[in-house]
Amino acid sequence: MKRLRVPYVIVMAASLFAGLLTGMRVYFLIFYVQLFLLVFCIAVIVYTVASFAYLQTISQEEAVKGDTVHLHLEIHNEKPYPFTMMQVHVQAVSSRENRVLSFHLAPKASISFDLPVACQWRGETGIGMSVVELRDMFGLVHIYFPLNFLPYYRPRRLLVFPKAEKLSLSMVGNPRRLQVRGALTQPSDSGNDLYGLQDYRPGDTDRQIHWKVSAAHNALYTKWYEREARPQCIILIDDCMPFSGEEGKVAADLLCCTAASLSRWALSHQNGVLLCAGSPHIPKVQGESFQDYSMIQQWLALLPFEGQGGMSGENISSELAGGFAAGLPVYLLTASPSLLANVMNVIIQRGAQMVCIWAAMSPGERPSFPDGVLDIPMEPGCNIGTRLGERL
């Protein structure tokens, strides 16, 4: 059909030129007939793309990295003319798995596809049709139409959670650096040891009110007790990503899967978990029991790596005021460790053990670290659980 396109345009141009030179109507008639046919083909294709019927579903809207979901796609031709040489571009999680479906569709017919889609990394993404290519039956017009131009079209939403790797057996029993020791205390509304007083809050019971102090100051004050708190695993994630495109997605996936592995291990061993991103506008998330792991997993799946400027020691100190404990580990996950020496020094000065886990995207890369920092590189494709078990 491509062979017809060039002679068609040549004849059309020659007819117009001959008509202008000679003034004969026959040449103008040939030109306008060809022009009408061309405009008609373009109008039909645009109308077809803008109004064709389809059904697009996925087997599940949430998955874990490594799972495979299925995209079911049906295309219906309800028009009285055929869809000739139609091509549909399908977007997957990874651009390497994008595919093009080519087919012809007769009038009043339909065609369906069941496509497996691999969840190669965590995050929220849209999968499904992205572009439709159509040609007319004469092969004169070829239109490449992105479906995001249609106001009603939306790709199917897929949320991929990071996968928590099982930590190697060498860590079970007596892990050297993950072991959290000692008991911490934290304020509570109930307990035996009085911690202090606070202003009355709606909902406080009469039993919590310190009546003598309230009478002396002519205002209501309630008791604040001290209770033992479980040690918590503090995980700091630098959301400033120096890599772009799929390389950035791979690096972010490495960091989030590492955080998920650490969080799952800590919660399963009756330790609390506190996760904090580098950008101050992203809220922290805290888990106290294994039931909170799904909340942490979703927080990691939706964490946007769009931070500007990276972490700062001052922000971390203010965000985690009172959260550091001497001798307990703090895990810093980043893709640019050379820019966070100040943050590591602040954490070390607070008396915490500093563990920096970084995404090693370039072979042979070896940044420098402050003294007292245990660094663990994570290369794409490495077994996170085994690597943590070897180094921690």
Q: How much is the pLDDT for 301?
A: 95
Residues 358, 302 share a domain: yes
Residues 384, 314 share a domain: yes
Residues 375, 237 share a domain: yes
Q: What would the pLDDT profile of 260-289 be if each residue is shown by its tens digit? A: 999 998 888 888 899 988 888 888 898 888
Residue pair 254/278 in contact (Cβ under 8 Å)? The answer is no
Q: How much is the pLDDT for 174?
A: 38
**pLDDT (mean) for 101-124:** 91
- H or E segment to which residue 105 belongs: strand 99-105
Cα angle: 105, vertex 144, 47; to 5 degrees: 60
Q: How far apart are CA 360 and CA 358, in angstroms?
A: 6
Q: How far apart are CA 184 and CA 248, in angstroms?
A: 38
At position 371, the amino acid (one-letter code) is: D
In this structure, of 20-29, 110-119, 208-217, the range with the lowest mean pLDDT score is: 208-217
Residues 268, 150 share a domain: no
Residues 194, 260 share a domain: no
Residues 247, 354 share a domain: yes
Q: How much is the pLDDT for 317?
A: 60
Residues 370, 249 share a domain: yes
Number of domains within the chain: 4
Nearest in space to 286 (alpha carbons), one of 250, 340, 322, 337: 322
Residue pair 22/44 in contact (Cβ under 8 Å)? The answer is no
Q: How much is the pLDDT for 212?
A: 84
Residues 150, 61 share a domain: yes
Assigned domain for 80 exists: yes
Q: What is the domain range of residue 384?
A: 169-182+231-391
For residue 94, pLDDT over 50 is answered with yes
Assigned domain for 9 exists: yes
CATH number of the domain within which 156 lies: 2.60.40.10
What do you get for the CA distance between the two ends of the chain, in Å?
A: 65
Assigned domain for 290 exists: yes
Confidence of residue 167 (pLDDT cuts 50, 70, 90): confident
Residues 248, 223 share a domain: no
Residues 112, 96 share a domain: yes
Residues 216, 261 share a domain: no
Where do runs of H (alpha helix) occur along 188-340?
A: 211-217, 245-268, 293-301, 313-319
Model confidence, pTM: 0.75
Assigned domain for 45 exists: no
Confidence of residue 194 (pLDDT cuts 50, 70, 90): low
For residue 148, pLDDT over 50 is answered with yes
Q: How much is the pLDDT for 378?
A: 92
Q: How much is the pLDDT for 3?
A: 67
Residues 357, 259 share a domain: yes
CATH number of the domain within which 368 lies: 3.40.50
Ranked by mean pLDDT, which of 17-26, 157-166, 340-349 comes out on top? Answer: 157-166
Q: How much is the pLDDT for 185?
A: 43
Q: What would the pLDDT profile of 314-353 be if each residue is shown by its tens digit? A: 666 665 555 555 557 889 999 988 888 888 888 888 778 8
Assigned domain for 285 exists: yes
Residue pair 236/269 in contact (Cβ under 8 Å)? The answer is no
At position 274, the amino acid (one-letter code) is: L
Confidence of residue 208 (pLDDT cuts 50, 70, 90): confident
Q: How much is the pLDDT for 231?
A: 58
